[in-house]
Structure 1
Protein backbone atom coordinates (compact mmCIF):
# COMPACT_ATOMS: atom_id res chain seq x y z
CA UNK A 1 0.00 0.00 0.00
CA UNK A 2 2.74 2.52 0.91
CA UNK A 3 5.50 3.06 -1.66
CA UNK A 4 7.81 5.70 -0.14
CA UNK A 5 8.00 8.92 1.86
CA UNK A 6 7.20 12.06 -0.14
CA UNK A 7 8.02 14.66 2.51
CA UNK A 8 8.30 15.27 6.21
CA UNK A 9 7.66 18.50 8.10
CA UNK A 10 10.27 20.07 10.35
CA UNK A 11 9.15 22.70 12.86
CA UNK A 12 11.84 25.25 13.69
CA UNK A 13 12.34 28.30 15.89
CA UNK A 14 14.80 30.25 13.70
CA UNK A 15 14.12 29.76 9.98
CA UNK A 16 17.31 31.57 8.91
CA UNK A 17 19.57 29.34 11.02
CA UNK A 18 17.63 26.29 9.85
CA UNK A 19 17.96 27.30 6.18
CA UNK A 20 21.71 27.83 6.61
CA UNK A 21 22.19 24.42 8.23
CA UNK A 22 20.16 22.42 5.71
CA UNK A 23 21.53 24.22 2.62
CA UNK A 24 25.16 24.73 3.68
CA UNK A 25 26.00 21.89 6.07
CA UNK A 26 23.75 19.21 4.54
CA UNK A 27 23.85 20.76 1.04
CA UNK A 28 20.13 20.25 0.37
CA UNK A 29 18.46 22.36 -2.30
CA UNK A 30 16.08 25.04 -1.04
CA UNK A 31 12.76 25.39 -2.83
CA UNK A 32 10.04 27.99 -2.35
CA UNK A 33 6.51 26.84 -3.12
CA UNK A 34 2.90 27.81 -2.50
CA UNK A 35 2.53 31.06 -0.61
CA UNK A 36 6.21 31.53 0.24
CA UNK A 37 6.66 28.16 1.91
CA UNK A 38 10.18 26.71 2.18
CA UNK A 39 11.32 23.13 1.57
CA UNK A 40 14.71 21.43 1.47
CA UNK A 41 14.91 18.92 -1.38
CA UNK A 42 17.08 15.85 -1.92
CA UNK A 43 16.55 12.83 -4.17
CA UNK A 44 12.80 12.50 -4.62
CA UNK A 45 11.96 13.68 -1.11
CA UNK A 46 11.73 16.99 0.67
CA UNK A 47 11.55 18.49 4.12
CA UNK A 48 8.87 21.16 4.45
CA UNK A 49 9.67 23.89 6.95
CA UNK A 50 7.19 25.21 9.52
CA UNK A 51 8.05 27.98 11.96
CA UNK A 52 6.81 27.40 15.51
CA UNK A 53 3.68 29.46 16.12
CA UNK A 54 3.08 29.96 12.38
CA UNK A 55 2.50 26.37 11.25
CA UNK A 56 0.46 25.72 8.13
CA UNK A 57 -2.83 23.84 8.57
CA UNK A 58 -3.24 21.00 8.96
CA UNK A 59 -0.21 20.26 11.10
CA UNK A 60 0.96 17.72 13.65
CA UNK A 61 -1.00 17.61 16.90
CA UNK A 62 2.04 18.76 18.90
CA UNK A 63 4.53 20.35 16.47
CA UNK A 64 7.78 20.78 18.37
CA UNK A 65 11.25 21.94 17.37
CA UNK A 66 13.95 19.43 18.26
CA UNK A 67 11.72 16.33 18.27
CA UNK A 68 13.02 14.71 15.05
CA UNK A 69 15.62 11.98 14.65
CA UNK A 70 16.49 11.71 10.94
CA UNK A 71 18.93 9.46 9.10
CA UNK A 72 20.19 10.50 5.66
CA UNK A 73 22.21 8.25 3.35
CA UNK A 74 25.15 10.20 1.93
CA UNK A 75 25.78 10.46 -1.82
CA UNK A 76 29.55 10.47 -1.22
CA UNK A 77 31.95 8.61 1.10
CA UNK A 78 31.48 9.35 4.79
CA UNK A 79 35.08 10.60 5.04
CA UNK A 80 34.18 13.40 2.61
CA UNK A 81 31.01 14.17 4.58
CA UNK A 82 33.05 14.40 7.79
CA UNK A 83 35.56 16.75 6.13
CA UNK A 84 32.73 18.97 4.84
CA UNK A 85 30.93 19.10 8.20
CA UNK A 86 34.20 19.95 9.95
CA UNK A 87 34.97 22.61 7.31
CA UNK A 88 31.56 24.16 8.06
CA UNK A 89 32.52 24.25 11.74
CA UNK A 90 29.59 22.07 12.75
CA UNK A 91 30.23 19.69 15.67
CA UNK A 92 29.96 15.95 15.16
CA UNK A 93 28.52 14.59 18.40
CA UNK A 94 29.08 10.87 17.72
CA UNK A 95 30.67 8.59 15.19
CA UNK A 96 31.66 7.21 12.91
CA UNK A 97 29.81 4.19 14.29
CA UNK A 98 28.20 1.15 12.69
CA UNK A 99 24.43 0.89 12.82
CA UNK A 100 21.66 -1.01 11.07
CA UNK A 101 19.74 0.98 8.47
CA UNK A 102 16.60 0.15 6.50
CA UNK A 103 18.49 -1.93 3.92
CA UNK A 104 21.47 -3.20 5.91
CA UNK A 105 24.57 -2.12 7.77
CA UNK A 106 25.58 1.55 7.69
CA UNK A 107 28.39 3.68 9.10
CA UNK A 108 27.09 6.91 10.62
CA UNK A 109 27.98 10.22 12.17
CA UNK A 110 25.59 12.28 14.28
CA UNK A 111 25.07 16.02 14.59
CA UNK A 112 22.32 18.31 15.80
CA UNK A 113 20.61 20.97 13.73
CA UNK A 114 19.93 24.47 15.15
CA UNK A 115 16.76 23.18 16.89
CA UNK A 116 18.65 20.19 18.33
CA UNK A 117 17.00 17.62 16.06
CA UNK A 118 19.27 14.57 15.84
CA UNK A 119 20.72 14.28 12.34
CA UNK A 120 22.42 11.04 11.31
CA UNK A 121 24.42 10.92 8.07
CA UNK A 122 25.38 7.44 6.93
CA UNK A 123 27.04 5.43 4.20
CA UNK A 124 25.98 1.86 3.38
CA UNK A 125 28.38 -0.93 4.32
CA UNK A 126 28.69 -4.24 2.53
CA UNK A 127 28.27 -7.34 4.70
CA UNK A 128 32.00 -8.03 4.39
CA UNK A 129 33.03 -4.49 5.28
CA UNK A 130 35.26 -3.97 8.29
CA UNK A 131 35.20 -0.94 10.56
CA UNK A 132 37.20 1.95 9.15
CA UNK A 133 39.83 2.61 11.78
CA UNK A 134 41.70 5.03 9.53
CA UNK A 135 39.51 7.99 10.49
CA UNK A 136 41.20 10.53 12.71
CA UNK A 137 40.20 10.83 16.35
CA UNK A 138 39.00 14.38 15.62
CA UNK A 139 36.37 12.94 13.27
CA UNK A 140 34.94 10.67 15.96
Structure 2
Protein backbone atom coordinates (compact mmCIF):
# COMPACT_ATOMS: atom_id res chain seq x y z
CA UNK A 1 0.00 0.00 0.00
CA UNK A 2 2.72 2.53 0.99
CA UNK A 3 5.57 3.13 -1.46
CA UNK A 4 7.65 5.89 0.19
CA UNK A 5 7.71 8.99 2.36
CA UNK A 6 6.68 12.28 0.79
CA UNK A 7 7.60 14.45 3.77
CA UNK A 8 8.02 14.48 7.51
CA UNK A 9 7.59 17.40 9.89
CA UNK A 10 10.06 18.56 12.53
CA UNK A 11 9.11 20.99 15.27
CA UNK A 12 11.80 23.63 15.80
CA UNK A 13 12.36 26.70 17.98
CA UNK A 14 13.82 28.86 15.22
CA UNK A 15 13.00 28.29 11.54
CA UNK A 16 15.95 30.30 10.19
CA UNK A 17 18.45 28.48 12.41
CA UNK A 18 17.02 25.10 11.36
CA UNK A 19 17.11 26.05 7.65
CA UNK A 20 20.73 27.15 7.96
CA UNK A 21 21.72 23.89 9.69
CA UNK A 22 20.01 21.57 7.20
CA UNK A 23 21.29 23.59 4.23
CA UNK A 24 24.89 23.80 5.47
CA UNK A 25 25.40 20.52 7.30
CA UNK A 26 23.15 18.18 5.29
CA UNK A 27 23.26 20.02 1.93
CA UNK A 28 19.46 20.11 1.63
CA UNK A 29 17.67 22.69 -0.51
CA UNK A 30 15.49 25.22 1.35
CA UNK A 31 12.07 25.79 -0.21
CA UNK A 32 9.06 27.92 0.66
CA UNK A 33 5.51 26.61 0.31
CA UNK A 34 1.92 27.28 1.52
CA UNK A 35 1.69 30.66 3.23
CA UNK A 36 5.45 31.11 3.54
CA UNK A 37 6.18 27.85 5.40
CA UNK A 38 9.71 26.46 5.09
CA UNK A 39 10.92 23.00 4.15
CA UNK A 40 14.17 21.31 3.27
CA UNK A 41 14.14 19.25 0.06
CA UNK A 42 16.47 16.36 -0.77
CA UNK A 43 15.94 13.80 -3.51
CA UNK A 44 12.20 13.28 -3.84
CA UNK A 45 11.43 13.99 -0.19
CA UNK A 46 11.25 17.00 2.09
CA UNK A 47 11.31 17.90 5.75
CA UNK A 48 8.69 20.51 6.66
CA UNK A 49 9.70 22.78 9.51
CA UNK A 50 7.13 24.06 12.00
CA UNK A 51 7.49 26.31 15.00
CA UNK A 52 6.50 24.86 18.34
CA UNK A 53 2.73 25.42 18.67
CA UNK A 54 2.26 26.35 14.99
CA UNK A 55 0.30 23.21 14.08
CA UNK A 56 -2.49 22.42 16.51
CA UNK A 57 -2.99 18.85 15.20
CA UNK A 58 0.67 17.96 15.84
CA UNK A 59 1.70 17.85 19.49
CA UNK A 60 5.38 17.12 18.81
CA UNK A 61 7.88 19.00 20.92
CA UNK A 62 11.28 20.31 19.89
CA UNK A 63 13.85 17.54 19.78
CA UNK A 64 11.33 14.70 19.40
CA UNK A 65 12.55 13.80 15.89
CA UNK A 66 14.85 10.87 15.16
CA UNK A 67 15.82 10.58 11.48
CA UNK A 68 18.01 8.18 9.54
CA UNK A 69 19.23 9.70 6.27
CA UNK A 70 21.10 7.74 3.60
CA UNK A 71 24.02 9.52 1.93
CA UNK A 72 25.73 9.02 -1.41
CA UNK A 73 28.98 10.27 0.20
CA UNK A 74 31.56 7.95 1.75
CA UNK A 75 31.52 7.71 5.55
CA UNK A 76 34.95 9.40 5.63
CA UNK A 77 33.55 12.35 3.62
CA UNK A 78 30.57 12.62 5.97
CA UNK A 79 32.77 12.64 9.07
CA UNK A 80 35.17 15.21 7.59
CA UNK A 81 32.26 17.44 6.56
CA UNK A 82 30.63 17.22 10.01
CA UNK A 83 33.95 18.10 11.66
CA UNK A 84 34.40 21.07 9.28
CA UNK A 85 30.88 22.24 10.22
CA UNK A 86 31.80 21.88 13.92
CA UNK A 87 29.08 19.28 14.48
CA UNK A 88 29.66 17.01 17.48
CA UNK A 89 29.34 13.34 16.54
CA UNK A 90 27.54 11.56 19.39
CA UNK A 91 28.25 8.03 18.14
CA UNK A 92 29.80 6.33 15.18
CA UNK A 93 30.57 5.14 12.79
CA UNK A 94 28.69 2.09 14.03
CA UNK A 95 26.97 -0.83 12.31
CA UNK A 96 23.17 -0.70 12.35
CA UNK A 97 20.28 -2.29 10.48
CA UNK A 98 18.76 -0.20 7.67
CA UNK A 99 15.55 -0.82 5.74
CA UNK A 100 17.49 -2.54 2.93
CA UNK A 101 20.30 -4.15 4.92
CA UNK A 102 23.35 -3.36 7.09
CA UNK A 103 24.45 0.28 7.31
CA UNK A 104 27.30 2.26 8.85
CA UNK A 105 25.99 5.29 10.74
CA UNK A 106 27.06 8.42 12.57
CA UNK A 107 24.74 10.21 14.99
CA UNK A 108 24.50 13.90 15.93
CA UNK A 109 21.90 16.45 17.00
CA UNK A 110 20.44 19.34 15.04
CA UNK A 111 20.04 22.74 16.80
CA UNK A 112 16.72 21.57 18.31
CA UNK A 113 18.16 18.28 19.64
CA UNK A 114 16.49 16.13 17.01
CA UNK A 115 18.66 13.03 16.59
CA UNK A 116 20.11 12.79 13.08
CA UNK A 117 21.65 9.57 11.79
CA UNK A 118 23.55 9.73 8.50
CA UNK A 119 24.23 6.31 7.01
CA UNK A 120 25.89 4.44 4.18
CA UNK A 121 24.76 0.95 3.17
CA UNK A 122 27.63 -1.44 3.92
CA UNK A 123 27.57 -2.92 0.41
CA UNK A 124 28.34 0.61 -0.89
CA UNK A 125 31.35 1.17 1.41
CA UNK A 126 34.77 1.11 -0.17
CA UNK A 127 37.15 -1.69 0.83
CA UNK A 128 39.23 0.80 2.83
CA UNK A 129 36.21 1.94 4.86
CA UNK A 130 35.10 -1.66 5.53
CA UNK A 131 38.57 -2.59 6.79
CA UNK A 132 38.94 0.44 9.10
CA UNK A 133 35.46 0.54 10.66
TM-score by structure 1 length?
0.86
How far is 1:130 from its partner?
8.9
Equivalent residue number for residue 45 of structure 1: 45
Deviation readout 1:113-134 (Å, 9 max, x if unpaired): 011111000000129x797453
TM-score by structure 2 length?
0.91
Aligned residues: 131
SS of match in other structure, 2:5 = coil
Q: Is the counterpart of residue 111 in structure 1 residue 89 in structure 2?
A: no
Q: 2:65 aligns with which of 61, 64, 68?
A: 68
Q: Whole-Å Cα distance in 1 between the matches of residues 102 and 5 of structure 2?
A: 21
Q: Is the counterpart of residue 21 in structure 1 residue 21 in structure 2?
A: yes
- 8 Å CA contact 1:111–1:118 kept in 2: the answer is yes
SS of match in other structure, 1:126 = helix
Equivalent residue number for residue 33 of structure 1: 33
Equivalent residue number for residue 94 of structure 2: 97
> In 2 relative to 1, CA 131–84 (structure 1 residues): closer, same or farther, beyond 3 Å?
closer
**Greater share of helix:** 2
- 8 Å CA contact 1:98–1:131 kept in 2: the answer is no
Deviation readout 1:86-134 (Å, 9 max, x if unpaired): 101111110000101000000000000011111000000129x797453
RMSD: 1.9
Equivalent residue number for residue 12 of structure 2: 12
SS of match in other structure, 2:123 = coil
Q: Whole-Å Cα distance in 2 between the matches of residues 86 and 132 of structure 1?
A: 21
Moved over 2 A (4+): 129-135
